[in-house]
C-alpha cells in the first residue's frame, strides 16, 4: 500500500523531478517507509512513489521499479493477492525474479502479455502508473471495484496524476478552482461522484479502467472490466438454483479471499463491528490462523450508537485478541477540523470520524486490517432495498395525478404538526409506526410519491439534497455515467450502489482514513471472483421474508452461534443532529454565516439560513443536509491558501 504521483511534460528532467518530489512529499502518510522519484533525460516524465512496506520489506521492493528488460517503469499502489501463483506461471515461461514483491511480478506479466491482459489476470486492489520507455506512453490503471484512488488531469502544459488531490494541489503551476458541477453533485450524494473531482480539470480514473497518455495526447479511460457487464451477464446466465451448492461455493470463495489477504510480512488484524459481514470475515480469518488474531472495534458512550458489546461477544466466540476503543463525544468533535486534510475533497459521510479513530487505534498494533466492506452491495443487505421495492410497487399502482395529490396533502401538514400527530397515536399503532415515523420522514415520503419511476424513487430516497442546484449558485448537475437497465428493481438498486456509492463513498472513507495513519485495509468480500459469482444468484437466494444478504447470514451460522446474529444493524452512526444543536453549534454558525456565504459566491445563503434556523428551533431535522454544507465550508476553509493562491509558473530545480 503506497502513494503514487507524477508529471508528464516537455520540461527538463531536473524540473520534473522537483515537481514530483513536491507531490511525493505531500503523500508521506500513505508511505512512511520509503520515498523515491524516477526520471531520465528525454523521457519527459517523472514518477514518484511513497512506500508502506507490506510484502518484501527488502530494498528489492523499492519503487519506482524497472522491469527486467528495462522497457517499463512502474509506480504501484496496492496489493496483488494471487501474485505467488502468477509468479510460478511466469517462472515456468522463463522469467527470473530478484525479489519477492508483487510489483515485480506485475512488471513481468506486463512484459509477457501486455498491460490489459496482465491486469485481467490480477486479483487485488491497485492503482498504478506505468511508463513505456519504448513507446513513450504513460499508462494509468485502476482496480476493478475502485478500492485504490487515482486522480489525473492537465494543469497548464503539464499532465499530472496522484493518489490524492493534495499531491496535485502541491504542483506550483496548478491553478486551483472549484468545479461547480462537482459541488452540486456532492450536495446530493455527500461525496463527489466519479469521474468528477471537486477541482476543475482534474478527474477520477473510473474503477476498472485503463488510460494511455503521451506528450501529444491524453486518451479516454477504457474499461478492462465492468460491473455493468458483470451484472448483465449474471442476469443472462444465472447459476443453477441449488442453494446448498451455492452456499458452499460462496464459502470457498470467501475463505480463499481471506486467506490471500492474510499474506503479509507485517502484523495483520481485523476490524470487527459485531455485524454480520465483519464477524464472518473475522471468524474465517481466525479459523485460518494458528494464533489468536487481533480484532478492533469502537465503543460509544451513547447506548443507541454503541455496538461494542456485540463485537466483544463475537471476539470471545472466535477466540481473538480483542481491542476496544471507547470514544467520548469530545474525542469525535476534535476530529472535525482534521477531516479536510484527511479526505482533501468535501466528504460528508459522518462515519468518516469513527473510521479514522478505529484505524488510528488499530495501527498501534498492526499494519494491515481486514474489513467486512462489500457484503451489503453484493448480497442485497441494505434495508432500503426492501423499502424501495415496496414503495415502488405501491406507487406504480397509482396514477400520477393521484400520487401528486397525496404528496401535496402530506406537504400541507408541517413536520412539527406531523410529529404531534405521531405523539398522540397509541403505542401499538401501525406495527411500531409511532416510533418509526416523524414529520421529516413524512415529507421525505411525499417527495418519493412524486417520483416518475422506480429509478427516480431510489435516487430520491438516497439523496441528501433532492434539489442541490437550488443551493449552488450557477450549479448544474452533470448526468451520471449510463448503466444497463436490468429490468429488476432489486438488482438495479444494487447496481447503482456498487457502481457509485461503494467506490465513491465507502471505499474512499476506508482508504483515506486508514492511509492517513499508514494502515492498509483489505476487503475480502470485494474479491472480484466473489463479486462476479454473486451476480449469478437468483434474487430469492439474496432476499426472502423481508431479509436481505441471506447467504452471509447462513454462513455466519456456520462459523458462529446463531444467537450472535440476532441484532439490529446500526453501522458507524454518530449523533450529528444533537451535536449541531449543542457542542458544534458555534463552529457551524461561523461557517454558515450569511455574509461569508455571500462573499464566497458558491452557496445560496437564504435557503441555507432557513435550514439552519429550523434545525436549531427543532422544527425540522436538517442534520445530514447541513452536514454536507458544513463539510464543504470546512474543506474550503482548510484549503483557502491553496484555493486563493495564484499559480507559480516556474519551479526551481
What residue segments make up the domains of the chain, in order of their start?
2-179+191-225, 228-374+491-565, 383-477, 576-644
Residue 429 has pLDDT above 60, yes or no: no
Q: Is 547 left (phi over 0), alpha (psi -120 to 50) or beta?
A: beta
Label the pairing between strands 321-327 and 294-300: parallel
Query: For residues 509 and 370, is the Cβ–Cβ distance under 8 A?
Result: no
Query: What is the reported pLDDT for 417?
Result: 74
From residue 18, how far is each of 6, 7, 22, 140 by CA, in Å? 10, 10, 6, 21
- Is 357 catalytic? The answer is no
The confidence band for 653, taking pLDDT boundaries of 50, 70 and 90, is very low
Between 591 and 454, the higher pLDDT residue:
591
Average pLDDT over residues 88-111: 95
pLDDT tens figures, 460-513: 888 999 899 999 999 999 888 888 888 888 899 999 999 999 999 999 999 999
**135, HSE (Cβ side, Cα atoms, 13 Å):** 11
Express each pLDDT in 29-38 by its tens digit.
Answer: 998 888 899 9
Evaluate if residue 240 carries a pLDDT over 50: yes
Q: Looking at domain 228-374+491-565, which of 3.40.50.620, 1.10.10.1150, 3.30.365.10, 3.30.565.10 is its CATH number?
A: 3.40.50.620
> Regarding predicted confidence, which is higher, 607 or 428?
607
Contact (Cβ atoms closer than 8 angstroms) between residue 242 and residue 340? no
- For residues 33-60, average pLDDT: 85
Q: What is the pLDDT of residues 352-409, one digit of tens each?
A: 999 999 999 999 999 999 999 999 999 999 988 887 777 766 666 777 777 777 777 7
pLDDT at 435: 44
List the Cα angle 126/132/137 in 5-degree steps: 95
| Residue 609 near residue 626, CB atoms below 8 Å | no
Model confidence at 593: pLDDT above 70 = yes
pLDDT digits (tens, 9 = 90+) for 410-420: 778 767 676 66
DSSP letters spanning 509-562: HHHHHHHTTT-EEE-GGG-HHHHHHHTTS-HHHH-BTTB--HHHHHHHHHHS-G
Cell 467506490 belongs to which residue?
A: 503
Mean local confidence (pLDDT), 533-562: 93
500 CB-near residues (< 8 Å, 6+ apart): 189, 193, 194, 480
Chain-centre distance for alpha carbon 585 = 28
The model's pLDDT over 450-459, given as tens digits with 9 standing for 90+, comes to 776 777 778 8
Can you read off the three cell numbers belonging to residue 565?
446474529
DSSP-based three-state secondary structure for 30: helix
**What's the pLDDT at 395?**
67
Confidence band, pLDDT 50/70/90 cuts, at residue 652: very low
Question: What is the DSSP secondary-structure string of 574-625?
Answer: --HHHHHHTTTHHHHHHHT-HHHHHHHTSB-HHHHHHHHHHHHHTS---HHH
In this prediction, residues 218-222 reach a mean pLDDT of 96
Q: What is the DSSP letter of 502?
A: I
Closest CA to 305 of 297, 313, 296, 317: 297
Q: Which CATH number fits domain 2-179+191-225: 3.40.50.1000, 3.60.20.10, 3.30.1130.10, 3.40.50.300?
A: 3.60.20.10
Is the four-CA dihedral 76, 78, 82, 84 of positive or negative sign? positive
Confidence at 432, pLDDT banded by 50, 70, 90: very low
Could you give the CA distance from residue 527 to residue 603 in angstroms, rounded to a whole number? 40
pTM of the model: 0.92
Pairwise CA distance, residues 160 & 46, whole Å: 10
CA 335 remoteness from chain centre: 19
Q: Would you state the pLDDT for residue 56?
A: 62
Amino acid at each position: 500500500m503506497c502513494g503514487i504521483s507524477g508529471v508528464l511534460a516537455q520540461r527538463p528532467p531536473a524540473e520534473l523531478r522537483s515537481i514530483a518530489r513536491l507531490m511525493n512529499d505531500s503523500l508521506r502518510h500513505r508511505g512512511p517507509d520509503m520515498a523515491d522519484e524516477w526520471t531520465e533525460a528525454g523521457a519527459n516524465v517523472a514518477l514518484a512513489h511513497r512506500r508502506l512496506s507490506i510484502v518484501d520489506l527488502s530494498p528489492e521492493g523499492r519503487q519506482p521499479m524497472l522491469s527486467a528488460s528495462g522497457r517499463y517503469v512502474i509506480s504501484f499502489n496496492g496489493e496483488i493477492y494471487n501474485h505467488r501463483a502468477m509468479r510460478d506461471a511466469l517462472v515456468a515461461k522463463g522469467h527470473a525474479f530478484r525479489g519477492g514483491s508483487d510489483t515485480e511480478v506485475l512488471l513481468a506479466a506486463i512484459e509477457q502479455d501486455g498491460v490489459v491482459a496482465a491486469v485481467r489476470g490480477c486479483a487485488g486492489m491497485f492503482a498504478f502508473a506505468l511508463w513505456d520507455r519504448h513507446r513513450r506512453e504513460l499508462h494509468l490503471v485502476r482496480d476493478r471495484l475502485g478500492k485504490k484512488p487515482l486522480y489525473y488531469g492537465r494543469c497548464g502544459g503539464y499532465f499530472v496524476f496522484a493518489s490524492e488531490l493534495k499531491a496535485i494541489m502541491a504542483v506550483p503551476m496548478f491553478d486551483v478552482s472549484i468545479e461547480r458541477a462537482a459541488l452540486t453533485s456532492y450536495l446530493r450524494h455527500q461525496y463527489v461522484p466519479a469521474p468528477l473531482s471537486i477541482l476543475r480539470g482534474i478527474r477520477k480514473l473510473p474503477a476498472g479502467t485503463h488510460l494511455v497518455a503521451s506528450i501529444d495526447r491524453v486518451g479516454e479511460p477504457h474499461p478492462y472490466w465492468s460491473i455493468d457487464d458483470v451484472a448483465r451477464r449474471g442476469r443472462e446466465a444465472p447459476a443453477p438454483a441449488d442453494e446448498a451448492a451455492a452456499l458452499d461455493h460462496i464459502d470457498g470463495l470467501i475463505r480463499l479471499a481471506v486467506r490471500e489477504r492474510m499474506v503479509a510480512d507485517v502484523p495483520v488484524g481485523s476490524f470487527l463491528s459485531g455485524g454480520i459481514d465483519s464477524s464472518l470475515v473475522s471468524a474465517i480469518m481466525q479459523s485460518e490462523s494458528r494464533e489468536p488474531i487481533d480484532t478492533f472495534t469502537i465503543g460509544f458512550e451513547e447506548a443507541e450508537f454503541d455496538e461494542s458489546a456485540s463485537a466483544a461477544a463475537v471476539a470471545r466466540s472466535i477466540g481473538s485478541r480483542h481491542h476496544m476503543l471507547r470514544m467520548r463525544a469530545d474525542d469525535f468533535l476534535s476530529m472535525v477540523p482534521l477531516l479536510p486534510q484527511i479526505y482533501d475533497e468535501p466528504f460528508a459521510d459522518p462515519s468518516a470520524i469513527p473510521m479514522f479513530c478505529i484505524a488510528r487505534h488499530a495501527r498501534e498494533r498492526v499494519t494491515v486490517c481486514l474489513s467486512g466492506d462489500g457484503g451489503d452491495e453484493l448480497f442485497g443487505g441494505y434495508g432500503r432495498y426492501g423499502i424501495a421495492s415496496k414503495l415502488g410497487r405501491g406507487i406504480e399502482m397509482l396514477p400520477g395525478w393521484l400520487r401528486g395529490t397525496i404528496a401535496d396533502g402530506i406537504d400541507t401538514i408541517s413536520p412539527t404538526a406531523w410529529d404531534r400527530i405521531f405523539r398522540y397515536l397509541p403505542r401499538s399503532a401501525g406495527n411500531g409506526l409511532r416510533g418509526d415515523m416523524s414529520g421529516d420522514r413524512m415529507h421525505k415520503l411525499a417527495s418519493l410519491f412524486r417520483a416518475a419511476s422506480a429509478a427516480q424513487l431510489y435516487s430520491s430516497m438516497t439523496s441528501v439534497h433532492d434539489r442541490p442546484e437550488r443551493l449552488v449558485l450557477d450549479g448544474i448537475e452533470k448526468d451520471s455515467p449510463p448503466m444497463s437497465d436490468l429490468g429488476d428493481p432489486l438488482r438495479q438498486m444494487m447496481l447503482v450502489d456498487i457502481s457509485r456509492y461503494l467506490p465513491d463513498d465507502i471505499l474512499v472513507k476506508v482508504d483515506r482514513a486508514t492511509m492517513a495513519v499508514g494502515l492498509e485495509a483489505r476487503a475480502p468480500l470485494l474479491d472480484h471472483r466473489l463479486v462476479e459469482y454473486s451476480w449469478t444468484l437468483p434474487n430469492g437466494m439474496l432476499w426472502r421474508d423481508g431479509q436481505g444478504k441471506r447467504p452471509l447470514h447462513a454462513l455466519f451460522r456456520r462459523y458462529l452461534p446463531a444467537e450472535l446474529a440476532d441484532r439490529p444493524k446500526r453501522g458507524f452512526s454518530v449523533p450529528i443532529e444533537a451535536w449541531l444543536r449543542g457542542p458544534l453549534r458555534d463552529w457551524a454558525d461561523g461557517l454558515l454565516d450569511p455574509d461569508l456565504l455571500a462573499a464566497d459566491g458558491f452557496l445560496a445563503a437564504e435557503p441555507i439560513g432557513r435550514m439552519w434556523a429550523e434545525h436549531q428551533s427543532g422544527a425540522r431535522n436538517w442534520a445530514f443536509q447541513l452536514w454536507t454544507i458544513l463539510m464543504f465550508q470546512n474543506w474550503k476553509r482548510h484549503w483557502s491558501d491553496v484555493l486563493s493562491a495564484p499559480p507559480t509558473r516556474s519551479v526551481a530545480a
